[in-house]
Structure 1
């Protein structure tokens, strides 16, 4: 399908082979967008594309987001396939085992910051340059997570610190691209039940049992959150926009009604 054949927007989702990323890709396709995804391996990309079943409206490329040249190749692939990019979402992210900061493996620390911070920086840089060079510009969105707003919790200090850094990075990007055709946005999905969330507690079943109580109050499944996020992303107008699923008001209401609502979001995940 050529770029001229449709006026639908082209959306790139990094980390789009599973979890929130795959859910977003599915929702953008449902809204007539054309979608480009990436994952760590060709096998993962091919599997996700088969699940999406969108034919020539979706494509993908194995990409290492920690490598700038690899991210540039993803941009080039998207432009070659669809002629341009309208929305770029830095969704790729990882975590590490729930543990005190001082007990966290240094390599795990390096990996989390390489993907969550340097990976988003690479994506933002490549996309912002590409968007600035094309007619009409476009959007870059960065995916926030626990810690982005400064809240702290023991056991996830490394992940939280990476997401706090990501918000700072995104705030600076907003300022640096003010009065240009490149718009920057913040995506905040809240607590979403994915293998990333569950995997943090692989070696801490007692901690997971405690955490599940809060997750079942505040959390949601991918298919609940991603339609909202995708719709708001496509409707956004002003740079610096924040699309937030779990607002403070929503969280407060859920705690107030928790005694009347029995939920087990992990029934199919555990």
Structure 2
């Protein structure tokens, strides 16, 4: 495993108690960072803090990223305990229901958009301000190949992740004059708890579209993120890094 020097850096990983976020937190800790796990699942947070070998290097915070006030409170607590935040990996998200647009429940649409898009805005809005003032920051927003390709029967998820890509490009241009890099990744599906929200038919559809013939491993996602949040990533910003196993057509 290649290691990047993150010693002295403080990272926030949303959705960090499970799945992709947890794997990323593991990788950042292995590189020397202090990591705050922001997640809404209290039980998962408790388990994660027990299994992550970090001691005082790990902070667990129950956070509702759809509420700006909750994000601000968490940011203040993280800064007080670990120090100013240098790195944000926004991994929190939900798949939502699988249904055609004509049958898609209105409340479900709003729920997916609120978590995946509005939540992304909230955590970036709160944490990027300090990065700009300190002239250092690294942000990775976890989008999805669905945001590029558009998966049928997943309109809310696809739309929300496409919006995350555009949001990242916009913020990356806003911070380009500072030593703040803002990038997105677009992974194919990984075998995490998010599969519990999907029909087997939809899971099979996603797999059939991946030329590699398998789902991405969370460790592979974490490997790419480790470089993106390192000091070595000093030029690239507002970019989208593909992790689709060859699926992406652009």
TM-score range, shorter chain: 0.7 to 0.9
| Structure 2 counterpart of 1:222 | 218
Provide the rounded CA distance (Å) in 2 between the counterparts of 1:140 and 1:228.
Answer: 13
Note the C-alpha offset of 1:177.
1.8
Question: Where does 1:9-24 land on structure 2 (aligned, <5 Å)?
Answer: 9-24=9-24
Shift in Å, 1:137: 2.5
**1:56 has 2:44 as partner:** no
d(CA) in 2 for partners of 1:7 and 1:25? 14
Question: Offset of 1:65 from its aligned partner?
Answer: 0.1
Deviation at 1:38, TM superposition (A): 1.0
1:74–1:239 Cα change, 3 Å: farther
Shift of residue 227, structure 1, vs aligned partner: 2.5
| Partner-residue secondary structure (3-state), 2:135 | coil
Partner of 2:3: none
Q: 1:172 to 1:211 in 2, by over 3 A?
A: closer
Q: Structure 1: 5+ residue runs without aligned partners?
A: 1-5, 253-270
CA shift for structure 1 position 245: 4.8
- Would you say 1:159 and 2:157 are equivalent positions? yes
What RMSD in Å do the two structures reach over aligned CA positions?
Answer: 2.2
CA drift of 1:222 comes to: 1.4
Aligned to 1:233: 229
1:137 counterpart residue number: 136
Runs of 4+ in 1 over 2 A off after TM superposition: 41-44, 146-149, 180-183, 187-191, 205-216, 241-247
Partner of 2:8 in structure 1? Answer: 8
Could you give the per-residue CA deviations for residues 215-259 of structure 1, whole angstroms, max 9, x where no partner exists? Answer: 671422213332332234323112515463526xx517xxxxxxx
Distance 1:226 1:219 in 2: 14
Following superposition, the deviation at residue 207 of structure 1 comes to 4.4
**Partner Cα distance (2:65, 2:116) in 1:** 9
Give the 5 Å matches for 1:112-191: 112-133=112-133, 135-149=134-148, 151-191=149-189
Task: Output the TM-score relative to the length of structure 2.
Answer: 0.87
**What stretches of structure 2 of length at least 5 have no aligned partner?**
1-5
Task: Give the 3-state SS of the residue equivalent to 1:148 in structure 2.
Answer: helix
Aligned pair count reads 240
